[in-house]
A and B are shown apart, each in its own frame.
Chain A
Amino acid sequence: MKVSYKWLKQYLDLNMPAKDLAEKIERTAVEVDSVAVAQDGLKKLVVGHILSMTKHPESDHLHVCQVDVGEDEPLQIVCGAPNVDVDQKVIVALPNSRIGGNVKIKRSKMRGIESSGMICALDEIGFSKDVIPKEWADGIYVFDDDVPVGEPIYKYLGMDDPIIDLDVTPNRGDMLSILGTVHDLAAIYDQQPEIKKPVVDEDSSLNIDQEIQATADDQLAKTYKLRVVEGVKISPSPAWLQIVLWNAGIRPINNVVDVTNYILLKYGQPLHSFDKDKINGTVHVRLAQKGEQLTTLDEDEHALSADDIVIADDDKPIALAGVMGGFNTQIDDNTENVVIESAIFDCFKIRKTAQRHNLHSEASQRFERGINPDGVQDAVDEAVSMIKQLAGGKIARGTVNASEYHPQLPTIYITAERTNHVLGTALTTADIKSIFDRLGFSSETHQDGLNVTIPARRWDIFRDADLYEEVARIYGYDNLPATLPTGRQSVGILTPTQKLQRASRTALEGLGFTQAISYSLTTTAKAKMFLMRQSEETKLLWPMTQDHAVLRMNMLSGLLDDVAYNHAHKVDDVALYEAGRVFYKDTADQIRPEEVEHIAGVVTGNLTNPLWNNHVSPVDFFQLKGMVNQFLVNLGVKGDIEYTATDQYPEMHPGRTANISIHGHYVGFLGQIHPRIAKQFKIKETYGFELNMQELIDLPKDDNQYQTISKYPSIKRDISLVVDDDVTNSQILAVMNKRGGAYLSDVRLFDVYEGDNVPDGKKSMAYSLTYVDPRETLKDDVVNTAFEKIKKRLTADLNAEIR
């Protein structure tokens, strides 16, 4: 709502700069989007009088004008506007002036003729094309004759008026009007504005009942009123009214429509004017019938829904109620008799209709947020009076009331004790009463508190909590003390799950992964990658883009997007992890997905930068495996971590991927991203893992345990064996661990070799075995016996050749 400071001053004694007023409004009532004075940034624009005019010799549309700008000599200005004419009072941009868009005007020559300035159209001095009246849309603006020549133009166009643009919250529909704003400012500044009731000069010869009839379903329109003015003469509105409207962002149309918009601004009551002679029979407020059509004032045709409220005559819809009038009954230049509608339509229906037809008008915005039921009659009364004043005609006696609604004013009981209990203040009943007095809420003492009666213009207030807010904001939030809660104590600690989640993040960061946060909403194709279990996808009903249309069922695809972004920006080395949720659905019928915590990571390129003393090699499967394994060790899940080769994930390299299980529970996988997928994402060789974090949280944990470190020396034995290619490290380890004896404490694979001296289809693997006895010094022959046993079993079970 764009509020004119000058208009407010008609009711209130306000002397502060507009910026200060805006600040006060912002801190006490509603947010202020901006404070703007249209003339700011403009320079040397004055009223000029065109004394004479000749055609430009070199042009068929330019004119050479002699313009009196209040100086000794008239200025010669070349003008191309189609409507320029002798004797007009016009906007003149003097030489060295500044017009809209920060454009400087200089003395110049136009096709050889000297031009000392410019005669301006409204849009050239900063007016939005949306508010310029049609008559001035395609040419220069012409002032009324009484505007003095040579004066700065600003006050004659309302450009000196500070316009405060209020961002009204949905609850404060009352502030979508000048009077509502005046009431609130009156409370803020403790003033008593005088708001006059309109007086209607009715014509006794015309009786409303004979002029028009109406019916209304009061479920659709709680209040529905019509008044009639006959014999009007349609013309442009006077400048003062046009200024009021364009400063509020509304385009002036004519003296009848402009009055309805003026009343809308003043009362917050949307009105609609019909050409009475275009209405056939009775006016009805009803729901539209299926198949009905209506062309609205903006000349768009709408297929109506059975949920739209329409105003109809006996034949056809004539307006989309509360949203926009119909083209078929609009006021035109020949209109003589007008019907003015003032009503309250059902807010929910209006909201739906405005959404359905994508027609969000000044009217619909107000109906949606509520209307002051006590202002409906005043609004229409003032409207018809103004129309008579500006367009002439006779006002028919009386008002058609097809429906009428006057709510019982709510009375709310509040006490100082309860108010202070909620706000933390120390106000007395008298303090509170004085705040209600300022707000114009009548209150009387009752028991220990006050019975407060809420005027109809504040329909947002209906319970005690609403009144605490009124007290708090008028008292001032700055005056509120700042304390910390006292009372019952509580302990703030993270749950074991939350602790583990934190630990998981710091563990991965310690291992070199930086935390990423990618989007949960992705494409269908990406959502379905790297599936750890069978799942249907969860789709949005109305996605904004196909890029974010489906909920992810894996974390890796988002991380691959991140890698791609980094690669595209010449960052080759990436190590990222992300902790978040994936969304699974067991069946397509299931609507709400299950949300499962996952944690995933990717690495590509080098972990550190190559330097003079740092000779790096790109990450590979085993690098990642070492990191993931350490991570799993850090989490302390009870049981052995096992890695088994798998080719079950179509997006992973079939020969370089392992499923991970702990104590027999499948928890995730790691490996190389399939080269085909890497190519699709436009990324280099990348390795990744994805783990079901929920599973890791739920599995039993080992606490840290202390074991005495053996004081006795350990004995090492190395063994080198040649085995078939398909014998795995894990098979060899299994044999060693099973047959290694009580003192085998550690086995390390220190070399793997294929090539010269090793037959085709075979590989050589070398292990270092450590034996230790925690209780006494181990004897060589004990170790030798154990070592021989291992050799024998390896030969027997795995056909290993010991070298």
Chain B
Amino acid sequence: MSLRDQLTEIKEKGLADIQQTSDLKALNEIRFHLLGKKGPITAALRGIKELNPEERPEVGSYANKIRDAISEAVSNHRETLENAALNAQLSAEKIDVTMPGKPVVQGQPHVIQQIIDQIVDLFLGMGYEVLSGPEVEEDKYNFEMMNLPKNHPARDMQDTFYISKEILMRTQTSPMQARALEKHDFSKGPLKMISPGIVYRRDTDDPTHSHQFHQVEGLFIDEHVTMADLKGTLITMAQNIFGDKFDIRLRPSYFPFTEPSVEVDVTCFNCMGKGCDVCKHTGWIEVLGAGMVHPNVLEMAGVDANKYGGFAFGVGPDRFAMLKYGVDDIRDFYLDDVRFLNQFSKRGN
């Protein structure tokens, strides 16, 4: 058998052995055995010196090819074996991904807080400042400076918790109008403020009444602020809170501290204006009161009503939340049932 034939035989046997191996350790041994110094190729090559000098390079080169072929075959087969081992491991590690994730702890802002923050953020963007005032208020600010003198029949519209003859639980956030007007320096710019807070009425709690609820007061006074500006501002608010499809309408109403006074309706949430039981088939739902600040209110706060004027509005976040989410009992907001509160966990709306 020629040397060349010997080498061919070594190669073929070697390749066959490699392919049959199913274990990485054995594969290494085969490689070591075939390509090592004591291996058959090395042994066979010892016979090269018996060949003609002209034949030697050709056989030497053939031997190197065989080495390379074996080396490559080992490397390929190693990869195959490694992949098979990894696949076996992965398959053993398979889990049921439909099982629940580990619970994490997260609290939620109260739904009314969410509405208030939404209103506050909108008006901050329009350049309003945010003011907060006392919940225990003077009759003077809550009523008198809001153009509601003692004995005014409109005081009956707001049953009041009194602490003394002159001190009461504020029935509205409107006293912040008077307080802000008194303080504001109009030479420095317009007065634009909103004031969220808790208010109190002497009501018996039932699904639509609560002795404690929230209001957000808004006030914009400058040299030229119109009722059309009020309308535009309220449309902006309604669409920001409820959505682009909502429209508003103004209806005449009466508040002693605004003139003209309007009640503001927004498109019915339930029927989107078509008319249903919720909106008494009008397509509209009353959401807030507003108007042009009464000159008496400006004058009582020391503001020149001939030079300055503007609008005010009062929003009820409780009512907004009830309408927006279809909550049918206002008391739900103050019972703090975790199952209720945790429903309002969607962020970014």
Stretch from B1-9, B67-75, B123-131 at the A interface? B123-131
Contact B109 A482 (CB under 8 A): no
Stretch from B35-43, B56-64, B78-86, B225-233 at the A interface? B225-233
Stretch from B12-20, B44-52, B174-182, B200-208 at the A interface? B200-208
Select which of A482, A487, A577 is within 8 A of B223 by beta carbon: A487
Contact A592 B167 (CB under 8 A): yes
The residues of A that contact B25 with a CB separation of less than 8 Å are none
Contact B190 A488 (CB under 8 A): yes
User: Chain B: which residue is nearest A173 at the CB level?
Assistant: B153
- Asked if A613 meets B102 with Cβ closer than 8 Å, knowing A482-B235, A492-B123, A575-B107, the reply is yes
The residues of B that contact A473 with a CB separation of less than 8 Å are 252, 260
Does any Cβ of A come within 8 Å of B242's Cβ? no
Q: How far is the CA of A347 from the CA of B261 in the complex (A)?
A: 23
Q: How far is the CA of A611 from the CA of B101 in the complex (A)?
A: 9
A28, A169, A489, A591 interface centre (most CB from chain B within 10 Å): A169
Does any Cβ of A come within 8 Å of B108's Cβ? yes
Select which of B128, B166, B212, B249 is within 8 A of A521 by beta carbon: B212
Contact B107 A595 (CB under 8 A): no
- Asked if A607 meets B105 with Cβ closer than 8 Å, knowing A425-B228, A484-B233, the reply is yes
User: Chain B: which residue is nearest A559 at the CB level?
Assistant: B336
Within 8 A of B (CB), among A566-585: 566, 569, 571, 573-577, 580-581, 583
Does any Cβ of A come within 8 Å of B309's Cβ? yes
Contact A521 B200 (CB under 8 A): yes
Does any Cβ of A come within 8 Å of B314's Cβ? no
Contact A472 B260 (CB under 8 A): yes
The residues of A that contact B334 with a CB separation of less than 8 Å are 517-519
Contact B231 A480 (CB under 8 A): yes
| A449 → chain B closest CB, angstroms | 15
Select which of A425, A465, A540 is within 8 A of B162 by beta carbon: A540
The residues of B that contact A31 with a CB separation of less than 8 Å are 251, 253, 263
Contact B107 A512 (CB under 8 A): yes
Does any Cβ of A come within 8 Å of B90's Cβ? no
| A598 → chain B closest CB, angstroms | 13
Does any Cβ of B come within 8 Å of A796's Cβ? no
The residues of A that contact B253 with a CB separation of less than 8 Å are 31, 169
Does any Cβ of B come within 8 Å of A75's Cβ? no
The residues of A that contact B333 with a CB separation of less than 8 Å are 517
| A1 → chain B closest CB, angstroms | 15
Does any Cβ of A come within 8 Å of B246's Cβ? no
The residues of A that contact B126 with a CB separation of less than 8 Å are 484, 492
Contact A465 B338 (CB under 8 A): no
Q: How far is the CA of A469 from the CA of B291 in the complex (A)?
A: 10
Does any Cβ of A come within 8 Å of B282's Cβ? yes
Does any Cβ of A come within 8 Å of B254's Cβ? yes
Select which of A369, A509, A575, A614 is within 8 A of B102 by beta carbon: A614
Within 8 A of B (CB), among A523-566: 538-544, 548, 551, 559, 562, 565-566
Does any Cβ of B come within 8 Å of A29's Cβ? yes
Does any Cβ of B come within 8 Å of A690's Cβ? no
Size bin of chain B's contact surface: 35 or more
Stretch from A106-114, A493-501, A778-786 at the B interface? A493-501
User: Chain B: which residue is nearest A580 at the CB level?
Assistant: B198
Does any Cβ of A come within 8 Å of B53's Cβ? no
Contact A510 B259 (CB under 8 A): no
Contact A487 B211 (CB under 8 A): no
User: Chain B: which residue is nearest A491 at the CB level?
Assistant: B127
Within 8 A of A (CB), among B272-305: 282, 292, 294-295
Does any Cβ of B come within 8 Å of A345's Cβ? no
Contact B105 A608 (CB under 8 A): yes
The residues of A that contact B335 with a CB separation of less than 8 Å are 562, 565
Does any Cβ of B come within 8 Å of A17's Cβ? no
Contact B252 A509 (CB under 8 A): no
The residues of A that contact B226 with a CB separation of less than 8 Å are 421-424, 483, 485
Does any Cβ of A come within 8 Å of B28's Cβ? no
Interface of B is mostly: mixed
Does any Cβ of B come within 8 Å of A609's Cβ? yes
Does any Cβ of B come within 8 Å of A791's Cβ? no
User: Chain B: which residue is nearest A461 at the CB level?
Assistant: B259
Contact A595 B341 (CB under 8 A): no
Does any Cβ of B come within 8 Å of A666's Cβ? no
Contact B262 A477 (CB under 8 A): yes
Select which of A511, A517, A569, A583 is within 8 A of B107 by beta carbon: A511
Contact A483 B107 (CB under 8 A): no
Contact B124 A492 (CB under 8 A): yes
Q: How far is the CA of A29 from the CA of B211 in the complex (A)?
A: 30
Does any Cβ of B come within 8 Å of A468's Cβ? yes
Within 8 A of B (CB), among A123-178: 169-172
The residues of A that contact B202 with a CB separation of less than 8 Å are 542, 544
The residues of B that contact A575 with a CB separation of less than 8 Å are 105, 107
Q: How far is the CA of A607 from the CA of B102 in the complex (A)?
A: 12
Contact B203 A544 (CB under 8 A): yes
Contact B254 A422 (CB under 8 A): no
Q: How far is the CA of A495 from the CA of B128 in the complex (A)?
A: 12
| A50 → chain B closest CB, angstroms | 41
Q: How far is the CA of A171 from the CA of B334 in the complex (A)?
A: 34
| B175 → chain A closest CB, angstroms | 14
Does any Cβ of A come within 8 Å of B322's Cβ? no
Does any Cβ of A come within 8 Å of B320's Cβ? no
Contact A609 B103 (CB under 8 A): yes
Within 8 A of B (CB), among A221-246: none
User: Chain A: which residue is nearest B281 at the CB level?
Assistant: A19
Contact A351 B292 (CB under 8 A): no
The residues of B that contact A352 with a CB separation of less than 8 Å are 151
Contact B250 A518 (CB under 8 A): no
Does any Cβ of B come within 8 Å of A27's Cβ? yes
The residues of B that contact A172 with a CB separation of less than 8 Å are 254
- Asked if A492 meets B105 with Cβ closer than 8 Å, knowing A422-B309, A516-B336, the reply is no
Contact A368 B153 (CB under 8 A): yes
Q: How far is the CA of A511 from the CA of B106 in the complex (A)?
A: 6
Q: How far is the CA of A693 from the CA of B122 in the complex (A)?
A: 26
Contact B162 A541 (CB under 8 A): yes
Contact B229 A483 (CB under 8 A): yes
User: Chain A: which residue is nearest B133 at the CB level?
Assistant: A595
Does any Cβ of B come within 8 Å of A769's Cβ? no
Contact A469 B259 (CB under 8 A): yes
- Asked if A465 meets B292 with Cβ closer than 8 Å, knowing A422-B227, A490-B190, A492-B129, the reply is yes
Does any Cβ of A come within 8 Å of B94's Cβ? no
A170, A348, A609 interface centre (most CB from chain B within 10 Å): A170
Within 8 A of A (CB), among B289-348: 292, 294-295, 309, 333-339, 341-342
| A513 → chain B closest CB, angstroms | 4
- Asked if A520 meets B198 with Cβ closer than 8 Å, knowing A170-B154, A514-B108, A562-B336, the reply is yes
Q: How far is the CA of A350 from the CA of B186 in the complex (A)?
A: 42
Does any Cβ of A come within 8 Å of B269's Cβ? no
Q: How far is the CA of A514 from the CA of B344 in the complex (A)?
A: 10
Select which of A422, A489, A514, A591 is within 8 A of B338 by beta carbon: A514
Within 8 A of B (CB), among A90-112: none
Does any Cβ of A come within 8 Å of B99's Cβ? yes
The residues of B that contact A611 with a CB separation of less than 8 Å are 100, 102-103
Q: How far is the CA of A512 from the CA of B129 in the complex (A)?
A: 30
Contact A30 B252 (CB under 8 A): yes
Does any Cβ of B come within 8 Å of A457's Cβ? no
Select which of A171, A463, A493, A540 is within 8 A of B295 by beta carbon: A463
User: What are 7 A-B pairs with beta-carbon distances under 8 A?
Assistant: A422-B227, A469-B259, A472-B252, A477-B252, A483-B232, A514-B107, A565-B337
- 17 additional contacts (CB under 8 A) given A169-B253, A517-B113, A544-B202: A170-B154, A351-B153, A369-B153, A421-B224, A483-B226, A514-B108, A514-B341, A515-B113, A516-B341, A540-B162, A542-B162, A551-B136, A571-B337, A581-B135, A591-B164, A609-B103, A611-B103
Q: Interface on B for A, CB 8 Å cutoff?
A: 99-100, 102-110, 112-113, 117, 123-130, 134-136, 138, 151-154, 156-157, 161-164, 166-167, 169, 189-190, 192, 198, 200, 202-204, 211-212, 220, 222-229, 231-233, 235-236, 249-254, 259-263, 282, 292, 294-295, 309, 333-339, 341-342
